[in-house]
Structure 1
Amino acid sequence: MIRLIIFAILVLALGYGFSWLADRPGDLSLVWEGQLYRTRLIVAAAILIALIAAVMIVWWFIRLIWTSPHSVTRYFRARKRDRGYQALSTGLIAAGAGNALLARKMAARTRGLIRADQEPLINLLEAQAALIEGKHDEARQKFELMANDPETRELGLRGLYLEAKRLGAHEAARQYAEKAADQAPYLPWAAQATLEYRSQAGRWDDAIKLLDQQKAAHVVDKTTANRQRAVLLAARADDRLESDPAGARDDALAALKLVADFVPAALVAAKALFREDKVRKAASMLEQVWKSHPHPEIGRAYVRARSGDSVTDRLKRAERLETIRPNNVEALLLTAKAALDATDFGKARAKAEAAARIDAREGAFLLLADIEEAETGDQGRMRHWMAQALRAPRDPAWVADGFVSEKWLPLSPVTGRLDAFEWKAPFDQVEGPVEEGSVLSIDAALKSLPPVREAPSATMADAPSSPKVASPATNAYVMELEPTAAKPAPSASAASPQPAQREPELRPFFGGAPDDPGVKNMKLEPESKTRLRLF
């Protein structure tokens, strides 16, 4: 486009010059070797321009003839190079498609048309073909050649890193990733891998420094960088909690500034403040986090803020959290547990049932079973609630890559991924069509709840036991009661004399069959004893 504009400007200038000369006629005289040559000025200008053009054409022709051997050689070299690049492109496509045979064929053709020192992608093609064929040693050699070449150093380091990860050589993989991150911090894979390796080693300061470099190089966006920085600060605060509570507090509060509802940072900050006797500040901070994220660990930390509080005071603190987030499952369960500790069974039962109506999960039914055990001690009702808990979904927990942890961790123990843990329900139940009646309902569970069994009175318990005859309609067994030392067993016949009371003989048990009645001892079981039978 620029050349076209320049050409148009030159043509316009030339035309304008000829028109200017035509408007101003004149003669040009030249005396050469005694001869006088006279012509018009415009004709002389045209002859001069034609002469310049002829000289240029002659010079171009002479230059063309002089450089023709080099031009011919360059033409054939370019044609050969184009064929080589075409073969290289075909080979890379074949390697990406998994066609090892065609990739090898195109690699050999490319190497015959293009030298490897001129085109380093030939090593990449051969390495990919070797990986497809399972020749990992040959592939590693090619990646090492690429790692030594400045043009393909990053590509070779990535290939060596992936091969080390495949073999489980984590130390070698860490070295390749750190080398790539030092030379090119803008590489996302190298920076992320180095960040995870430094976090696994507990080098939180180096990890935070690397994350700042990634953020400055725009490798990660601002939101992701703030989240990962909060995770690293919370992890460092957790490590420093025992040795440096003040430093742990500062790190945790800095993490909360980046992510306002980050529960692990809030818990570490609360523990550090509790150790500094700043209970009110810790409680205020926990309340702020509870408003945005009602987490059960936040609730437990808030309720047990003061170690010397009574169960009634803890119940009041739980109720305060419930007023902040009313009709919330975690708040209701927290109040129910505090009421159970305070032996306020009515409130505990009401809150637990309300929580189960919102979310019928395992923890709510287990809490109802604990309430039954503490209040009534009825085994039947306890088994009923525990059976409901077995059918209910599990409570949320810290889950990362299928691993369930009792507490939050900065890294996944399965993959080593940073910030992998999430607070959610574990996936341990088989998904499938919901059968009729399989959906849990607290109202249905209350309807099917067995009534409370009345406990036997003290007088009935102290009264002497007598043989009981079960009715055939009840399908019960007859229990034969042995006489006690205090009172002899009553006889079926009043006229028959009572046998003399003697001390029972201790007989060792030698492991006979449990269903073997053994040989009847007439001395220990006299014939005068009456047996009551159903049949």
Structure 2
Amino acid sequence: MIRLVVFALLVLVLGYGFSWLADRPGDLSLIWEGQLYQTKLIVAATAIIGLVALVMVLWWLVRVIWTSPHSVTRYFRARKRDRGYQALSTGLIAAGAGNSLLARKMAARSRGLIRADQEPLIALLEAQAALIEGRHDEARAKFEAMTNDPETRELGLRGLYLEAKRLGANEAARQYAEKAADNAPYLPWAAQATLEYRSQAGRWDDAIRLLEQQKAARVIEKGEADRMRAVLLTARATEKLENDPAGARDDALHALKLSADFEPAAIIAAKALFREDKLRKAASILEQAWKAEPHPEIGRTYVRARSGDSAADRLKRAERLEALRPNNVESLLVVAQAALDAQAFAKARTKAEAAARIEPREAAFLLMADIEEAETGDQGRIRHWLSQALKAPRDPAWVADGFVSDKWLPLSPISGQLDAFVWKVPFGQVEGPIEDGAPASIDYALKTLPPVRETRPESPVNDHRIIELERAATIAEAARPPAKPATPTKETAAQAAEPPPFFGGRPDDPGVRAPATEPEPKTRLRLF
């Protein structure tokens, strides 16, 4: 388009020039070697322009003839290169489809048509063909050769990383990932793998630094980066809690600013503040977290904030949590447990039954069993509540990759993934009741609850007392003087004269009764 405009402008300029000369006629005289040459000005200008055009055409012809060998060579070279790139494209498609024979054939053809130092994709095609054919040693050699070229270094490191993961060489995979992340922190696979490896080794500072590089390179979104940073800060705060409460407090509070609904950060921050005797601020953090989402660990931490509190004080703190989130299962369970510790059995039973009505699950029925044991000690009723707990759905827990943990962990012990634990009901639980009978229901459980026995089982002190009395009676009976033998009668004499049975005793038939003799004292034995 630009050339067309330039050509049009040039024609217009020439036309204008000729029109200007035509409007101003004149003669042009030239004396050369004594001869006078005279012509019109317009004719002279036309001749000069034609001469220039002729010179340009002659120069073009000479240039074409002079450069024709190079042009022919370049033509055939371009044609060969095009064929090579066509073979390379076909080979990569074949490798992606898993056609090793065609991929190997196209790799050889590409290497014959294109110089390998000019096109690094040939080495990639050969490595892919070797992987498809199962020649992993050859593939690793190709990837190692790629790492020596700055243009293909990242590609070679990724290939070596995947091979190391396939072989289970985690240390080698870690080194390849860290090397790639140091050279190019914008690579998602390298940064994520390095982040997980550094987290597994407890190198929280290095992991946080790498996360900042990812965020600066815009490899990871801001929201996700803030969440990951909160997890790393909470993990570092957990390690600092024992020896550096102030550092743990700062990390946990920073994590809460990044992710306000992150319960582990709130718990660690509160525990660190408790160690610094900042009870009011710690309680405020736990109350805010409880309002957002009640969690059993938050409730336990809040109720047992001060070790010197009495059971009644802990009950008041539990009731404070219930006031923040009324009619909530976790709130009711926390109050029920605190009431049980304070031996307020009526309140504990009422709250536990209310929790079971809202959500009949394992923890509510187990708590009912604990209340029954503490209040009545009736083994039948305790077993009844335990059987209901077996039928009820399981309680939520920290779950990651099928692994159930009683506490939050920053990494999954199965896959090593960061921030993998989720608070939910574990998978794989038995659906429905696991034994015959109706499913767990508080109304059904109360309806079928056996009555309390009138007599409670004897305590260990009474058992010892009974044993001592029976031993004393036995000793007194043994010290009593023997009674005079009675005069034998005819029946007793006949029985004494009767020979004993062949097998050494009387038959064990229950219908055969032994002769009446004076009962011997018996000692009552009890296992305790």
TM-score, scaled to structure 2: 0.83
1:148 aligns with 2:148: yes
In the superposition, relative to structure 1, how do residues 99 and 436 fare at CA in structure 2: closer, same or farther (>3 Å)?
farther
Residue aligned with 1:67, SS: helix
Deviation at 1:176, TM superposition (A): 1.0
* Matched-pair contact (CA < 8 Å) for 1:25–1:40: no
Alignment partner of 1:38 is 2:39: yes
| 8 Å contact kept, 2:178–2:190 | yes
Q: Partner of 1:175 in structure 2?
A: 175
3-state SS in 1 of match to 2:147 = helix
- CA change 1:256–1:35 in 2 (3 A) is same
Distance 2:368 2:142 in 1: 65
Contact 1:231 1:255 in 2 (8 A): yes
* 1:2/1:244 CA distance change after superposition, 3 Å: farther
SS at match of 2:106: helix
Q: CA deviation at 1:407?
A: 1.4
- Give the match's secondary structure for 1:119: coil
Classify 1:405/1:434 alpha carbon distance in 2 versus 1 (closer, same or farther; 3 Å). closer
Aligned to 1:256: 256
Task: Note the C-alpha offset of 1:50.
Answer: 3.1
Residue 303 (structure 2) pairs with residue 326 (structure 1):
no
Using the TM superposition, give the Cα deviation of residue 179 of structure 1 relative to its aligned residue in structure 2, in angstroms. Answer: 1.0
Q: Work out the CA distance in 2 between the residues paired with 1:434 and 1:18.
A: 108
* Deviations, residues 406-462 of structure 1 (Å, cap 9, x unaligned): 21111111111111111111102257999999764433333343444443799xxx9
For 1:451 and 1:52, the matched residues in 2 are separated by 125
Alpha-carbon distance in 1 for matches of 2:455, 2:9:
115
SS in 1 for 2:37: strand
Q: Which residue does the alignment assign to 2:397?
A: 397
Deviation at 1:21?
4.5
Partner residue, 2:447:
447
Deviation at 1:216, TM superposition (A): 1.1
Could you tell me which residue of structure 2 aligns to residue 126 of structure 1?
126
SS at match of 1:127: helix
Mapped to 2, the partners of 1:422 and 1:457 lie a distance apart of 45
**Structure 2 runs not aligned, ≥5 long:** 463-472, 478-485, 487-504, 518-528
Matched letter for residue 527 of structure 1 = P
Residue 504 of structure 1: aligned partner: none
- 1:56-77 Cα distance to aligned partner (Å, 9 max, x none): 2221121111111111111111
Does the alignment pair 1:423 with 2:423? yes
Instruction: Report how many aligned residue pairs link the two structures.
Output: 475
Distance 2:285 2:392 in 1: 34
Please report how far the alpha carbon of residue 229 of structure 1 lies from its aligned counterpart in structure 2 after TM superposition: 1.1
Give, in whole Å, the separation in 2 of the partners of 1:82 and 1:435: 74
Aligned mates of 1:385, 1:172 — CA distance in 2? 54
Give the aligned residue type for 1:187: L
Structure-2 residue corresponding to 1:527: 515
Contact kept in structure 2, 1:322 and 1:331, CA below 8 Å: yes
Whose helix proportion is higher, 1 or 2?
2
Q: How does 1:277-356 map to 2 (within 5 A)?
A: 277-356=277-356
Equivalence for 1:508: none
Distance 2:411 2:10 in 1: 70
CA distance in 2, matches of 1:44, 1:358: 111
Change (3 A) 1:443 1:211: same
Task: Determine the structure 2 residue equivalent to 1:379.
Answer: 379
Matches within 5 A, 1:156-305: 156-305=156-305
Q: 8 Å contact 1:200–1:416 — kept in the other structure?
A: yes
CA change 1:76–1:319 in 2 (3 A) is same
The question of whether the paired residues in 2 share the 8 Å contact of 1:143 and 1:157 is answered with yes
Q: Secondary structure at the match of 1:219?
A: coil
1:90 aligned residue: 90
Change in 2 beyond 3 A, CA 1:457/1:39: closer
Evaluate the alpha carbon distance shift between residue 440 and residue 50 of structure 1 in structure 2; reply closer, same or farther with a 3 A threshold: farther
- With over 3 angstroms needed to count, the CA separation of the structure-2 counterparts of 1:143 and 1:101, relative to structure 1, is same
Structure 1 residues 457, 60: CA separation in 2 closer, same or farther (over 3 Å shift)?
closer
Q: How far did 1:12 drift?
A: 4.1
Q: Match for residue 358 of structure 2?
A: 358
Q: Is the 8 A contact 2:21 2:41 kept in 1?
A: no
Cα separation, partners in 2 of 1:450 and 1:110, compared to 1, 3 Å: same
In 1, the alpha carbon distance for the partners of 2:8 and 2:438 equals 86
Equivalent position amino acid for 1:398 in 2: W
Q: Which one-letter code corresponds to 1:50 in the other structure?
A: G
Distance of 1:144 and 1:407 partners within structure 2? 43
- 2:52 is equivalent to residue 29 of structure 1: no
For residues 454 and 434 of structure 1, the distance between their equivalents in structure 2, rounded to whole angstroms, comes to: 32
Rounded to whole Å, the distance in 1 between the matches of 2:158 and 2:38 is 81
Residues 5, 432 of structure 1: alpha-carbon distance in 2 compared, 3 angstrom cutoff: farther
Which residue does 1:474 correspond to in 2? none
Q: Which amino acid aligns with 1:224?
A: E
Once residues 385 and 28 of structure 1 are traced to their aligned partners in structure 2, the CA distance between those partners, rounded to angstroms, is 129
Amino acid aligned to 2:30: V
TM-score (norm 1): 0.82
The amino acid across from 2:24 in the alignment is P
CA RMSD, 1 decimal: 3.2
Give the Cα–Cα distance (whole angstroms) in 1 for the partners of residues 181 and 338 of structure 2.
52
Deviation at 1:521, TM superposition (A): 12
8 A contact 1:28–1:44 mirrored in 2? no
- Range with greater deviation from structure 2 (263-272 or 67-76): 263-272
Is the alpha carbon distance of 1:84 and 1:310 closer, same or farther for their aligned partners in structure 2, counting shifts above 3 Å? Answer: same
Distance 2:277 2:153 in 1: 55
Secondary structure of the equivalent of 1:394?
Answer: coil
Q: Is the 8 A contact 2:392 2:433 kept in 1?
A: no
